[in-house]
Amino acid sequence: MLVNCVAYQNGKRLAEITPREIHDYVNRPDCFVWVALRDASDAELAEMQEEFDLHPLAVEDARHGHQRPKVEEYGNCLFVVIQTIEPDGDDLRVGEIDVFVGPNYVLSVRQRSERGFTEVRARCEREPELLRYGSGYVLYALVDAVVDRYFPLIDGLEAELEQIEERIFAGGAARAQVEALYGIKQKLVTLKHAVGPLLEASSKLHGGRVPQVCLGMGEYFRDVYDHLGRLNQSIDAIREMVTTALSVHLSLSTMQENETTKRLAAYAALLAIPTMIAGLYGMNFENMPELRWQFGYPVTLGIMAVIDIYLFRRFRRIGWL
Amino acid sequence: MLVNCVAYQNGKRLAEITPREIHDYVNRPDCFVWVALRDASDAELAEMQEEFDLHPLAVEDARHGHQRPKVEEYGNCLFVVIQTIEPDGDDLRVGEIDVFVGPNYVLSVRQRSERGFTEVRARCEREPELLRYGSGYVLYALVDAVVDRYFPLIDGLEAELEQIEERIFAGGAARAQVEALYGIKQKLVTLKHAVGPLLEASSKLHGGRVPQVCLGMGEYFRDVYDHLGRLNQSIDAIREMVTTALSVHLSLSTMQENETTKRLAAYAALLAIPTMIAGLYGMNFENMPELRWQFGYPVTLGIMAVIDIYLFRRFRRIGWL
Amino acid sequence: MLVNCVAYQNGKRLAEITPREIHDYVNRPDCFVWVALRDASDAELAEMQEEFDLHPLAVEDARHGHQRPKVEEYGNCLFVVIQTIEPDGDDLRVGEIDVFVGPNYVLSVRQRSERGFTEVRARCEREPELLRYGSGYVLYALVDAVVDRYFPLIDGLEAELEQIEERIFAGGAARAQVEALYGIKQKLVTLKHAVGPLLEASSKLHGGRVPQVCLGMGEYFRDVYDHLGRLNQSIDAIREMVTTALSVHLSLSTMQENETTKRLAAYAALLAIPTMIAGLYGMNFENMPELRWQFGYPVTLGIMAVIDIYLFRRFRRIGWL
Amino acid sequence: MLVNCVAYQNGKRLAEITPREIHDYVNRPDCFVWVALRDASDAELAEMQEEFDLHPLAVEDARHGHQRPKVEEYGNCLFVVIQTIEPDGDDLRVGEIDVFVGPNYVLSVRQRSERGFTEVRARCEREPELLRYGSGYVLYALVDAVVDRYFPLIDGLEAELEQIEERIFAGGAARAQVEALYGIKQKLVTLKHAVGPLLEASSKLHGGRVPQVCLGMGEYFRDVYDHLGRLNQSIDAIREMVTTALSVHLSLSTMQENETTKRLAAYAALLAIPTMIAGLYGMNFENMPELRWQFGYPVTLGIMAVIDIYLFRRFRRIGWL
Amino acid sequence: MLVNCVAYQNGKRLAEITPREIHDYVNRPDCFVWVALRDASDAELAEMQEEFDLHPLAVEDARHGHQRPKVEEYGNCLFVVIQTIEPDGDDLRVGEIDVFVGPNYVLSVRQRSERGFTEVRARCEREPELLRYGSGYVLYALVDAVVDRYFPLIDGLEAELEQIEERIFAGGAARAQVEALYGIKQKLVTLKHAVGPLLEASSKLHGGRVPQVCLGMGEYFRDVYDHLGRLNQSIDAIREMVTTALSVHLSLSTMQENETTKRLAAYAALLAIPTMIAGLYGMNFENMPELRWQFGYPVTLGIMAVIDIYLFRRFRRIGWL
């Protein structure tokens, strides 16, 4: 589905054009065309392939989808894959933007993603002095926007982990916490798959030799790279803490088991002592003098009570109760 | 066993030939010969070694089998080993294709693998404009086909892991799940052995200096490399989740033990209280006034019931029952 | 908030100047200006950006804060981010200093940090022969001061870990220790985030090609790098010991559970034996000769005592009691 | 102890010579001498050092033994240390071959190893066209032989691991399995120490710049390198599976404990119910009508049986029995 | 404290000199001075700094102590820090030697270390042909001596680990073993900190570009490097085995708990059966024919015995007793 298709000249919006006009504008030296597709059909991709003369392997990747984030050069065309990640109920939905960047065109194909990039286009059009850099700047703006959207997800996981920690240390270890930790781990793997390869790939866009279309944009792409580095570090840190939290949970479960056992034992002892004494006086020996004493019964009850009170206090003191 | 042996000219099928004719075609400049063997005997390998003048160490490797995936150059002959992995009941069967690629020949030796590569030959013959690249393109088509067959295996493991996860969190931890997780781990090791070294080896086929026969095929081999990168990443991710799932399983088992202990304790208490009280009134003291009361017995039963009902509710409330 | 703003000539303090005078001094060849801001407002940053002609991306980073430690070159201006870490009750407070270093200016922006750097300025002014190196030396002095402040934090964690170790091995495993170990782990992650990236970044300031402003300061920055290496190593070591301590704790908990179970069992046996014997003599058979023996009762009590004493000793010997 | 000492010319055996004649042959251009020592004494090493003019540090290493596998160049002499590993009862015996290779001599010193290398000499002498390569080929043949002897050891460990796995999943977790897994881990460490450094060191013998004596042997040493890579990979894989097997064992032990607890609880309940009911009718209340009923006793027994049968079935159904 | 201060010429001892004479000898072309200090005071260091014109940062490091092992070049002066590790009761004492090496001087400062290096000086003076290499050879001799002293420490830890292993597998898991494993781990961390950075640093002393004073000593420093590599490998191996031993210990503890539970259960059953039967015949039903049978009592006792004997055998067979 075509979202929009606009021609720019010297950083300023020229006109909304139809795909069939692309051809004209692409060949004008100071112009570039920015086309945005969404969940593109095979026919649309084929049309674009022809208009922009895209490499068949890149188009094939865009058609298949589910690519790893990457930056590939096909001649002077750059093919960039970025994963979009959006919260979807309790899960994360992984979408993808495939960006084809040539000297005077940008084609972005958004797939399986709810949230669009009209704000990116708006921001670019508000800054004509930067948009003058051409298609490289548009690429930067797109990547920057996707990367900025990762931060709240990471912050959310951090907050979730903190809540689980508190609950683990406060209320005793429970099943729900293990499940939640596992859920965080799964989301981290998803995020890592989006961030890790992009971090590596984006290092090709600044520093030494960079693709033609990114020339002069080094500081901007280094900034994106730096943000990705921060994300990557946060992911690794949360990952490590999740692993630690899991073993802490195990330790606490084991100790809880221990405490339960002790508590049971204490109560069992409180019941077993009177039971044993009662058993003794339930014996049918003919010659048991206590049975005939006037106060044999209440004294026996008293002894039971005294022993149990003593034990109860003792168990309290050593922390079993 | 010879599967087939065909000569090609300018990307078009010339003729099915016999091994003895290979010699003639290999020396014609615009021709190349594509020979496919299956579970080759020593004699067949020796014949091919002579026809194509293969290096003895490479032939030795092909004869022995069970090689690590690799890409080796012997002069202008490329020797490529790829592992085929096929589901075999509950296990994975590891086979191997050894491909010898020279400027005008391709010799593929398939070993211990059920599924052949006739579809690859068919696909190549349908695209003469690509087959014109010669033996390098055939190598690409073979590697690409094997790599594509890894994907459903990984997807299968991912689905299996998801099922186990659900069962772990739903039905409580059971033995079968541990066994299944171990099985996944084993399969991942097998897949990693096929994918990891191939990823590394295939990086020699694009980028800087590449072997003669792969010249001009860089984008194709980079595509294969990229697929292998994705596979590798998925394997690592599943591997990590299996490890996490194992420790989650352990945590849940420990907690389940804890819950069992508590439940037992609760029921034990419900039985121990009446037993103790009954013991008291089973004592044989002569002077126990309650024994002579009209309603001593039903009142005692009532007291037992009241205590047990109270305890039962309390255990319910604190989650022990 | 402006902390101070001073002009230096040939390593000697010239005068405290106002931000509006910066312009004059920066252009004098042998002068440099050192401005210190604290929790700078957007307006202050904008003013400084104009005075020193700072790159917008760097200023943006300083405005946002919460950056990873890094060293970035923007033309001949160096932008350095360092994290300050201060104890804050039981937690660590992470602040940040952003330093902009040009050939003849240093602008440091301290954020979310209690402790200032007046002592650094004082030390620099006491050593005019070093301050003559110019802005590079000021950068060194600032980084060195922050890094030196990391050491007591690490020492504190080491001491804390030692205490926990002692308590684990002495008094038996307890919940509080697990919580404390988790706390140490969290602080290590915080410190690692401050030290790790700074170690990597600071390697750019000595050795091969270094930024203009650091020329001739190689040995000083190598010294800082070396200190960071030591910190990094200590962090990794404590981290490893925390992990080991956690598994030791788990092992000890499991063993403690085992010991508890044994102890319970021993006491249960001491009670169950007399209970069983008493049960026997509580049977109502008409023909039970022992019941009629003169000393049946005391003998039975004696037998109970003898068995229990024997068992008690036995349990003692095998370590169950 | 001198094993043998032979001079070769153009790949053919010339004569068995005495150590004192070495000098003569080493200086003839197309000759080389191959000396094999076993558990050499200091005197023998000193004699050889003089004959071949070996570097004192290399000789010192050979005298000390217990070196890490390595490849070192001393001028145009190559000093190679390889570890031999032989099964020795239930353990592995680690021996060592130190090989000194010069342009026209090979001196191999076998230490603490049962199995010799006469078969290697025989194989070399059967292939004069390869032996013509000179001392480099002898080095290859020796290293190849040692490396080939690692394979059955690894295969053995793999088989052992499989047996343990089966026993773990079949018969329930037992102590012997943990001990066996630990044993495998120890052997893997031993093998890793032999293979890992040799893999790294042998990479110096092919590829870019190689020592003089290995010139023209690149494909052979690459083959050895490849075998070492396979061994290394197998070791890592088994290592990983041993770790997983250990945690699987722990999980299964915990679950087994859980099952035991449940089973005990079920049987305890089956005994506790009749005990409690019997306790009730053991009370001595005067007014207990049931006691006087004609069928009070059998009915009570019947009720006990009914309850127990019901419970037994229920426990069966929920898997506690 | 000055240990000694000697001037050498052409590898031969010239004279013991006073610090004030150093100046004269250092400037004679074929001479070098070797000064050894122990726990040097600030004044001594300042004097030496002046005599040898040492870099203030290096002197500062030596004054502070507690450095990471390292090799630093300050102009043509080499500053080397090595950690000495000595057993100190049950702990390890970490000391340090700081060596300043210039073209014609060596200054070694030993700190917090019991054992001196007079034997190193003696060895050097016994080998004038090597000592002729000058200060570089002295550096080698010092480093070599320290590294050689690490080996017995590692061997000791290996032996200790073996003892713990045996005790774990023989006598059942105990607390002391966990504590001992933790102790080994701590010592390994200490040793790793001494060996790891030195390994890395010493790689600068052979191979490609080496500092001036080490010229021509490449093979000697490679030998040291090799020894450090072996130490490093051993440390990693022991470390891995300690981790494995800890998880083995946990597995065995869990199984032991299981065994304890089973044993308890078996004994509990042996007591509970007679208790229950006795309870039955303790009921007060009027119509219980067994009570009146002549042999009711002994038959009941017999039945109890038979059941218990049967159960005992059964428990024996299934390994619960």
Average pLDDT in chain B = 91
pLDDT-derived band at D173 (thresholds 50, 70, 90) equals low
Q: How much of chain A, in percent, has pLDDT values that exceed 70?
A: 99
ipTM of this complex prediction, to 2 decimal places = 0.84
Helix (H) or strand (E) holding D88: strand D77-88
Q: What is the pLDDT of residue A264?
A: 83
Mean pLDDT to the nearest integer, A252-266: 86
Instruction: State which amino acid sits at residue B294.
Output: Q
Q: Which residue of D has its CA nearest to E289?
A: D297
Q: What is the pLDDT of residue B96?
A: 94
Tell me the pairing of strands A31-38 and A105-111. Answer: parallel
Mean pLDDT to the nearest integer, C257-272: 86
Q: What is the pLDDT of residues C141-180, one digit of tens each?
A: 999 999 999 999 999 999 999 999 999 888 665 788 999 9
> What CA–CA distance (Å, rounded) separates B141 from B117?
10
> What CA–CA distance (Å, rounded) separates D269 from D266?
5
- Indicate if the pLDDT at residue A173 is higher than 60: no
- Indicate if the pLDDT at residue D171 is higher than 80: no
Mean pLDDT to the nearest integer, C235-246: 94
pLDDT-derived band at B173 (thresholds 50, 70, 90) equals low
Task: Tell me which residue in B57, B67, B253 faces D254 most closely, judged by beta carbons.
Answer: B253
Average pLDDT in chain C = 91
Q: What is the pLDDT of residue E136?
A: 92
Q: Which residues of chain A neighbour C264 with C-beta distances below 8 Å?
A: 261, 265, 268
Q: What is the pLDDT of residue A136?
A: 92
Q: What is the pLDDT of residues E39-60, one digit of tens each?
A: 999 999 999 999 899 999 999 9
If one counts every other C-beta atom within 10 angstroms of the C-beta of residue A51, the result is 18
Mean pLDDT to the nearest integer, B158-163: 94
Q: What is the pLDDT of residue A1?
A: 86
Instruction: State which amino acid sits at residue C283.
Output: M
Q: Which residues of chain A neighbour C247 with C-beta distances below 8 Å?
A: 247
Q: Is C10 exposed, middle or buried (0-12, 13-18, 19+ CB in 10 A)?
A: exposed
Mean pLDDT to the nearest integer, D169-186: 85
pLDDT-derived band at E173 (thresholds 50, 70, 90) equals low
Q: What is the pLDDT of residue D289?
A: 87
- Indicate if the pLDDT at residue D139 is higher than 90: yes
Angle at A241 between CA A235 and CA A243, to 5 degrees: 105
Q: What is the pLDDT of residue B171?
A: 67
Q: Which of C255, C261, C287 to mutate to test the interface with E (most CBs of E within 10 A)?
A: C255
Here the tokens at position A247 are 């073993």
pTM of the model: 0.88
Q: What is the pLDDT of residue A260?
A: 84
> What CA–CA distance (Å, rounded) separates E269 from C276?
12
If one counts every other C-beta atom within 10 angstroms of the C-beta of residue D105, the result is 26
Q: How much of chain E, in percent, has pLDDT values that exceed 90?
A: 64
Q: What is the pLDDT of residues A78-100, one digit of tens each?
A: 999 999 999 988 899 999 999 99
Q: What are the b/e assignments for A10-32, b being 16+ CB within 10 Å?
A: ebeeeeebebeebeebbeeeebb
- Indicate if the pLDDT at residue D24 is higher than 60: yes
Q: How much of chain E, in percent, has pLDDT values that exceed 70?
A: 99
Task: Tell me which residue in A165, A261, A276 faces C257 most closely, judged by beta carbons.
Answer: A261
Q: Which residues of chain D neighbour B260 with C-beta distances below 8 Å?
A: 258, 261-262, 265
Q: What is the pLDDT of residue E30?
A: 82
Mean pLDDT to the nearest integer, B143-167: 94
Q: What is the pLDDT of residue D172?
A: 61
A240 to B247, C230, D182, D207: CA distances (angstroms):
14, 22, 27, 40
Q: Which residue of B has its CA nearest to A259?
A: B258
Task: Tell me which residue in C186, C275, C291 faces A241 most closely, judged by beta carbons.
Answer: C186
Helix (H) or strand (E) holding A13: strand A12-16
- Indicate if the pLDDT at residue A174 is higher than 80: no
pLDDT-derived band at A172 (thresholds 50, 70, 90) equals low
Q: What is the pLDDT of residue C83?
A: 96
Are A256 and B253 spatial neighbours (Cβ–Cβ below 8 Å)? no
Mean pLDDT to the nearest integer, A203-230: 90
Mean pLDDT to the nearest integer, E225-247: 94
Average pLDDT in chain E = 91
> What CA–CA distance (Å, rounded) separates A134 from A33?
9
Q: Which residues of chain B neighbour A67 with C-beta distances below 8 Å?
A: 226, 230
pLDDT-derived band at A184 (thresholds 50, 70, 90) equals very high
Q: How much of chain C, in percent, has pLDDT values that exceed 70?
A: 99
Q: What is the pLDDT of residue C169?
A: 87
Interchain CB distance below 8 Å, E233 and D68: yes
Mean pLDDT to the nearest integer, D166-182: 84
Min distance A252 CA to chain C CA atoms (Å): 7
> What CA–CA distance (Å, rounded) separates E33 from A299?
96
Q: Which residues of chain A neighbour B226 with C-beta distances below 8 Å?
A: 67-68, 70, 72
What is the spatial order of strands in the sheet that B91-102 belongs to? B12-16, B2-9, B31-38, B105-111, B91-102, B77-88, B70-74
Mean pLDDT to the nearest integer, C119-132: 90
Which position has the higher pLDDT, B192 or C172? B192
- Indicate if the pLDDT at residue B29 is higher than 90: no
- Concatenated DSSP letters of C247-259: HHHHHHHHHHHHH
> What CA–CA distance (Å, rounded) separates C259 from A262?
11
Mean pLDDT to the nearest integer, E213-224: 90
pLDDT-derived band at C182 (thresholds 50, 70, 90) equals very high
Q: What is the pLDDT of residues D225-275, one digit of tens each?
A: 999 999 999 999 999 999 999 999 998 888 888 888 888 888 888 999 999
Average pLDDT in chain A = 91
Q: What is the pLDDT of residue E171?
A: 67
Interchain CB distance below 8 Å, E284 and D279: no
Min distance B90 CA to chain A CA atoms (Å): 26
